[in-house]
Structure 1
Amino acid sequence: MAQRNTLQYIILGLLSQAPRTGYELTQDFAHEIGEFWQAQHSQIYPLLGKMEAQGLIAHTVEVTGTKLEKKRYRNTAEGQAVLTAWVGSPTPTMATTKDEFVLKLYFVQRADDTRLPGMIKEQLRIHREWLQHLEARRQLLFADPDAASQQFGHYLILDHALTRERQYVQWLEEQLARLPHN
C-alpha cells in the first residue's frame, strides 16, 4: 500500500485556517504542529511547488520593504476538497513512535545494569520539562473556556499530549523505583 503524503494534508489544513508564507508554515512546524509532527524547511518548500503545480494551492506575491517578495499561499477549491476528504477518511493503521530511549532499553540485558539509573533519570528530566511546556501551552491557548470549543481539534491534541507525557513520567518513576541501583 502506498504511503500517504501526510505533510501535504497538514499544509492544506494550515492553509485552510489562514493564508501563509512558506516561512510561516515552517514556524508552525517549529511550534504548534511540532508538538506532534515534524517537518523541515527542506521538505516544506519543494512540496509547496509540487502542490501548486497540482492545483491544490495558489499564491500571491507580497512585497515588503522595497525589494523583499514573499509568496503567500492559500488553498484552491480543489485543495480544500482534498483536505475535507482526507479529514473524513479512515485512519486504519496504528501510529508507531520512534523512541530511541525505548530502543536502547530493548538491548539492556540485566536489571542491575549500572547505566539504567542515569538513563532513566535523564528521560525523567526531559519528559518533566516537556510536560511543563505542554501545561504552559494549554494555559496560554485554552485558559478561556470558549477557546477550546473554537479550536476543539487542537484542544484534543494537546490533551492527548498531556495525558501521554503524564503516563510516561509515571512509568519512568515506577521503573526507577524498581532498580537495585538508583
Structure 2
Amino acid sequence: MISPKRQGGSFKMAQKNILQFIILGLINDHPQTGYELTKSFDNDIGEFWSAKHSQIYPQLKTLEEKQYLTHTMEVSGEKLERKRYSITPAGQHLLTAWIAEPTINQTNGKDEFVLKLYFIHDQTDPRLTTMLEEQLQYHTEKLTHLKNQLSKKFPDGGDPANFGHYLILSHAVSRETEYYDWLNDALKQI
C-alpha cells in the first residue's frame, strides 16, 4: 500500500518504483541482457513508459541483490561478456502480487505544450497557430506510428497470447486519436 507523505502543507502519495515491475515483467517473458531491456524500452514499452540506460542497470543490480533476479554470464563475440538475467520464484511472486494490486490513477506525465498553452490568454495570440500546427504534426506522426505498430503486431486483432500488449497498444492509438482530434478542433477555433 502506498502511504501519503506530508509535503509543504499538503499530502503527496509516495511513488512506487514501477521500473522494477516493468523489468521483472520483461524478464519474466524471457531472460534478457541489460542491452536487450534497453531496446525493449526503445520499441514496445516506450510507447507508454520510458526508462534510460542509467536507470535500468542500477535497477537490475538492486533486483539481483534482493534475489528477484539471477544472472548467467555469456560470451558474445571473442571476449565480450554480458549478463543474461532470469527471474527467480521470488521475483515472479513480486510481479504477480503487483499485477493483482489495485491501480492508482497517476498523473505523472508532463506535457510541456499544455503548460505553455496555459499561459496563452488571447485567442488571437500569433504564437498559437504555430504551436498547435507543430503539435498536430507531432501527434499525427505518433498516431501513424502507433497504428502501424498495431496492424503489424496484431494484424488479426487481439491475440490471446499477447492480449495485454494488444490492449495497451489499442489504448495508445485511442489516446493519440483523441489528442489529434483535440488539436484539429483547437485550430478551427482560432
TM bin (shorter chain): over 0.9
Is 2:132 the partner of 1:120? yes
Q: Does 2:153 match 1:134?
A: no
Map of 2:89 onto structure 1: 77
- After superposing on structure 2, the runs of 4+ consecutive aligned residues of structure 1 that deviate more than 4 Å are none
The AA in structure 2 aligned to 1:87 is I
Aligned residue pair count = 178
What are the superposed Cα offsets for residues 105-142 of structure 1, whole Å, 9 maximum, x if unpaired?
A: 00001101000000000000000000000011011100
TM-score (normalised: structure 1): 0.95
**What is aligned with 2:8?**
none
Aligned residue number for residue 157 of structure 1: 168
- Equivalent residue for 1:167? 178
Q: SS of 1:66's equivalent? A: coil
Is 1:37 equivalent to 2:53 in the alignment? no
Greater RCO (Cα-Cα under 8 Å, separation 6 or more): 1
Residue ranges of structure 1 left out of the alignment (5+ in a row): none
Unmatched 5+ stretches in structure 2: 4-13
C-alpha RMSD of the superposition: 1.1
Q: Percent identity?
A: 51
Q: Quote the residue 2:65 is aligned against.
A: 53
Q: Which residue of 2 aligns with 1:8?
A: 20
Shift of 1:11: 0.2
Once the two structures are TM-superposed, the CA of residue 66 in structure 1 deviates from its matched residue by 1.9
Q: Distance in 1 between matches of 2:50 and 2:121?
A: 32
Amino acid at match of 1:19: P
